[in-house]
Amino acid sequence: MPPAYELLLRQGRLLHSTGTIETVDIAIAAGRIAAIAPHLEAEAQLELDLNGKLISPPFVESHVHLDSALTVGQPRWNESGTLFEGIEIWRERKQDLSLEDVKTRAIETLKQQAMQGVLYVRSHADVSEANLVALQALLEVREAVKDWTTLQVVAFPQDGIYGSPQNERLMETALQMGADVVGGIPHYELTREDGVKSIHRIFELAQQYDRLIDIHCDEIDDDNSRFLEVVAACAIRTGMGSRVTASHTTAFGSYNNAYAYKLLGFLRRTQMNFIANPLINITLQGRTDTYPKRRGLTRVKELWQQGTNVSLGHDCVQDCWYSLGTGNMLDVAFMLVHVAQMTGRAEIDACYDMITWHGAKTLNLSEQYGIEVGKPANLIVLDASDRYDAIRRRATVRYVISRGKLLASTETPTLDWKLGKI
C-alpha cells in the first residue's frame, strides 16, 4: 500500500533559494512537508496536478499598516499627497477607532493578502493614541488568524515617542501587552536631539523586553536627516544587528555620495535589515521638489550589491497615505524594478527574493520558512515559469497552501479572442 497523505502536489517546478528550479511531487501530512521527490508513489485525500507551475515559499509582507488599511477618504482625501498631510488625516481618523473597526479592516486586508500568496505579515500598530485601540485590535487579530497566516505586530509611535508626554509610557505598555517589535520614528520627533534619544530608548526597550526592532527611519527627502547612522551605531554597540531593521530610509537616496559610501561600510558591519516601500516612497517623496524631481527611494541596489539584507513592504493599502493597492507583493516588486532601475536579469530575480527569502530574514522566520521536508507546509503555486516571469506578469497565485491545507485558489484569466484568425 502506498502511503496516504492529506495533500499531494504533482509535477510542480520548485523554486529554491539559490534560484535553481526542479520538477517535483510534494506530499503533505499533518501540516508539514512529508516528502519531496521527482515522483512519489503515493495517494492523498486531495491531489493537485500543477502541470509545471512554479512552487515558491509564500510572500512576506515586511511592512504594512493594517490599522489604517481600507480607510481611504475617511474623513477626507489626502489632496497634497504628502506624508505629513497623511499623518494629520490619520490623527483625525484615529479618534474614531474601535476594536471592531480595526479588526474588521485588518482581517479583510489579511485575506486579500493571503489569497495573493502573502502568509507572513509584519504590521505596525499606532501606539500614540491614549487607549491603544489599534494595538489591542491587532494583537487580537494576530490570535484570530494564526491558523492560516502569521502576523507580527510593531509598537509604532506614529506621533513620536516624545511628541506627547504620555507616548513613552504607551510604548512600554504596548510591549507589556505583547507587541512583537519595538518601532520608532526619529525623523518626526520634535528635535534632532529627541530623535537621537528615541533611538537609544528603542534599543533599551528591545533589550529589556527581548524584542526585535523596526524603525521608520529618515522617511523624508531631507539630506540632513541622518538617524540611520545612529541606528547603525546602536546596532554595532549592542550586537543586536540582525534583530534590527531600518524601514524606508528614503533620505539615503538624497545623501551626498561621499557620506553615503562611508555609511554603506558601517551598515555592512551591522548585519541590519532594510525595508523599502517603493509604491509609497515613489508617491510620497519628492513632493517638495520641482524639477529635477527625486525618486525618494533608499539605495536598494547598492545595499543589495554589498550583501545587506533588503526586503519590501506594500506599506499602505487604501489609506490616507496611499489610495491604491490590493496588498499584492508582486506589484511592490514590479515597482521596485522600475524605481531602483534593477532591470538586469539577476537584479529582477533579486527583487523577487526581497518579497520571499529576504523578508523571512527581516522577520526572523528562519526556522519555519522555506519548502523542505519537516517544515510547516506553507507554500504558493504561481502561474509563472520563473521569478522574472512572475514579476513581469504579476502572475496569478493559483493555489495558496497554509499549514498543509488548501487556503485559496484563483483561476488565471484566459483570453477568449472573438475575431477569429488574423
Q: Residues in the site for Fe ion, rule: CB under 5 A? A: 315
* Strands, sheet with 309-312, edge to edge from the N-terminal-most edge strand: 59-64, 118-126, 150-156, 181-184, 212-217, 244-248, 273-276, 309-312
Compute the least distance from the CB of residue 276 to Fe ion, in Å. 11
363/377 with CB nearer Fe ion: 363
Tell the smallest beta-carbon distance from residue 127 to Fe ion (Å).
14
| Straight-line distance from the first to the last Cα atom of the chain, in angstroms, rounded to the nearest whole number | 54
- Which residue of the set 193, 219, 302, 411 is catalytic? 219
**Is 229 known to be catalytic?**
no
Of 67 and 315, CB closest to Fe ion: 315
Identity of the residue, 124 or 387, whose beta carbon is nearer to Fe ion in the bound complex: 124
Q: What is the DSSP string of 170-209?
A: HHHHHHHHT-SEEEE-GGGSSSHHHHHHHHHHHHHHHHHH
Phi, psi values for residue 367, rounded to 5°: -70, -30
* The one-letter amino acid at 283: T
- Any alpha helices (H) in 116-270, and if so which ranges? 133-144, 167-177, 192-209, 228-238, 257-270
Chain center to CA of 279? 12
Nearer to Fe ion, 273 or 402 (CB): 273
The three grid cell numbers given for residue 32, joined into one nine-digit string: 508539514
Nearer to Fe ion, 129 or 315 (CB): 315
Output the smallest distance, CB 158 to Fe ion, in A: 9
Of the candidates 205, 166, 254, the residue with the CA atom closest to the CA atom of residue 197: 205
Q: Which residue is nearest to Fe ion (CB)?
A: 315
CB crowding 198-215: b at 16 or more within 10 Å, else e:
bbebbbebbeeeebbbbb
Q: Kindly tell me which of 315 and 331 has the beta carbon lying closer to Fe ion.
A: 315
Strands 4-15 and 54-56: parallel
Name the minimum Å distance from CB 360 to Fe ion.
Answer: 19
Cα 244 to Cα 250: distance, rounded to the nearest angstrom = 17
Catalytic positions, please?
219
